[in-house]
């Protein structure tokens, strides 16, 4: 049996589900039971009947699954797959900011640590942030850790006051607006879809801004035939699978997330075989973090 077959056999024996983010390597997406953006994967992890989840993504995603479903075993095949943006918000600093703004509601991007989630009122992803923040009555919003997503939402809700954290995604920061201008000059009829983790000049130069899932939906339902995809290159796997007749371009500059690429098939196999790399979260922190994630699912419905 090859590695794929071994994984499928083990998965059946152990009644496990394999979840993968769109930024994962093609062979990981191909072996997964469900591939999606952060919100979809969080929903899947919460609603699936399997008690064993192999989460092919980065740590905050697997932690979010465990926070919402503590009774399930959640494995992260690449134990050191973190998210540098999530690491940019330290819990102690969040506490200080909250003290400075006692009337503000704290909205944290799902790309955050369990402890930061435990200090937040509600979580969000890039696909539901606007809906969630719109449903909050309070005027003052602390948004963390992604300044770019926060700015993008703030531009659409001018009557709220946003206190933005200074975090960013090192992958999306690599792209500059010039790359988008160049693509437009080379291909007159190109449409540009960008992730909100991109900086403002890049967002301003795009035709569409959305989560990975929303970008895939945008290009799949558009009648246009050429697109520049301004997010991590892993999404091209699903995009090309769904749209074999269309043409897709990347802005260049190495839009690859090293952490998302840490998971290989052998890691999936080993974690399933040996039940390695289980996610564990301090119960006190988990209970508080649960509230912010459950609020996201309630408000994001
Ligand atoms: P989405 O899948 O929600 O668009 O998030 C992108 C991301 O950066 C995940 O780390
Ligand atoms: Fe974190 Fe950016 Fe990688 Fe997503 S793409 S996991 S935000 S570093």
Q: Which atom of ligand 1 is nearest to the CA of 60?
A: 10
Torsion of the alpha carbons at 124, 293, 60 and 192, rounded to the nearest 10:
-20
Task: Clarify whether residues 22 and 39 are in a common domain.
Answer: yes
* 82's tokens: 């973190």
> Is 198 among the annotated ligand-binding positions?
no
- pTM for the whole thing? 0.96
In a domain, 208, yes or no: yes
The ligand placed nearest to the CA atom of residue 83 is 2
Cβ of 38 closer than 6 Å to ligand 1, yes or no, is yes
In a domain, 255, yes or no: no
The enclosing domain of 135 has a CATH number of 3.40.50.10800
Q: Which atom of ligand 2 is nearest to the CA of 172?
A: 2
Task: Clarify whether residues 292 and 276 are in a common domain.
Answer: no
In a domain, 57, yes or no: yes
Task: Clarify whether residues 57 and 202 are in a common domain.
Answer: no
pLDDT in tens, the chain (301 residues): 899 999 999 999 999 999 999 999 999 999 999 999 999 999 999 999 999 999 999 999 999 999 999 999 999 999 999 999 999 999 999 999 999 999 999 999 999 999 999 999 999 999 999 999 999 999 999 999 999 999 999 999 999 999 999 999 999 999 999 999 999 999 999 999 999 999 999 999 999 999 999 999 999 999 999 999 999 999 999 999 999 999 999 998 889 999 999 999 999 999 999 999 999 999 999 999 999 999 999 998 8
Q: Which domain holds residue 30?
A: 3-81+261-280
Task: Clarify whether residues 199 and 183 are in a common domain.
Answer: yes
Closest residue CA from atom 5 of ligand 1: 38
**End-to-end CA separation in angstroms for the chain:** 42
In a domain, 256, yes or no: no
> Is 257 among the annotated ligand-binding positions?
yes
> Is 199 among the annotated ligand-binding positions?
no
Question: What DSSP state is assigned to residue 279?
Answer: -
The ligand placed nearest to the CA atom of residue 37 is 1
Task: Clarify whether residues 9 and 22 are in a common domain.
Answer: yes
The three-state secondary structure class of 226 is: strand
The three-state secondary structure class of 120 is: coil
Task: Clarify whether residues 225 and 96 are in a common domain.
Answer: no
In a domain, 254, yes or no: no
Task: Clarify whether residues 292 and 265 are in a common domain.
Answer: no
Closest residue CA from atom 6 of ligand 2: 83
Task: Clarify whether residues 132 and 270 are in a common domain.
Answer: no
Task: Clarify whether residues 145 and 294 are in a common domain.
Answer: yes
Q: Answer yes or no: are the C-beta atoms of 296 and 132 closer than 8 Å.
A: yes
**Per-residue pLDDT at 293:** 97
* 207's tokens: 């035709």
Count structural domains, the chain. Answer: 3
Task: Clarify whether residues 140 and 11 are in a common domain.
Answer: no
Task: Clarify whether residues 54 and 89 are in a common domain.
Answer: no
In a domain, 292, yes or no: yes
In a domain, 18, yes or no: yes
In a domain, 231, yes or no: yes
Q: Which atom of ligand 2 is nearest to the CA of 57?
A: 6
> Is 101 among the annotated ligand-binding positions?
no
Task: Clarify whether residues 59 and 30 are in a common domain.
Answer: yes
Q: How far apart are CA 68 and CA 283, in angstroms?
A: 12
């Amino acid at each position: 049996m090859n590695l794929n077959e071994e994984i499928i056999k083990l998965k059946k024996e152990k009644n496990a589900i394999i979840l993968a983010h769109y930024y994962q390597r093609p062979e990981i997406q191909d072996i997964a039971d469900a591939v999606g953006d952060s919100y979809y994967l969080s929903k899947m992890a919460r609603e699936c009947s399997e008690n064993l989840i192999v989460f092919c993504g980065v740590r905050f995603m697997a932690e979010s699954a465990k926070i919402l479903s503590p009774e399930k075993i959640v494995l992260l095949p690449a134990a050191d797959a973190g998210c540098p943006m999530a690491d940019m918000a330290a819990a102690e600093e969040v506490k200080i900011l909250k003290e400075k703004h006692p009337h503000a509601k704290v909205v944290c991007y799902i790309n955050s640590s369990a402890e930061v989630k435990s200090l937040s009122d509600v979580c969000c992803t890039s696909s539901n942030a606007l809906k969630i923040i719109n449903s909050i009555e309070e005027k003052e919003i602390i948004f963390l850790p992604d300044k770019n997503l926060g700015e993008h939402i703030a531009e659409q809700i001018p009557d709220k006051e946003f206190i933005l954290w200074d975090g960013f995604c090192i992958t999306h920061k690599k792209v500059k607006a010039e790359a988008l201008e160049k693509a437009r000059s080379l291909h007159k009829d190109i449409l540009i879809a960008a992730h909100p983790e991109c900086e403002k000049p890049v967002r301003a130069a795009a035709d569409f801004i959305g989560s990975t899932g929303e970008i895939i939906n945008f290009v799949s339902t558009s009648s246009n035939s050429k697109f520049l995809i301004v997010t991590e290159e892993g999404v091209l796997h699903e995009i090309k699978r769904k749209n074999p007749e269309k043409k897709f371009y990347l802005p260049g500059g190495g839009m690859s997330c090293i952490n998302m690429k840490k998971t290989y098939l052998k890691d999936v196999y080993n974690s399933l075989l040996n039940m390695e790399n289980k996610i564990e979260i301090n119960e006190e922190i988990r209970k508080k973090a649960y509230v912010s994630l459950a609020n996201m699912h309630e408000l994001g419905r």
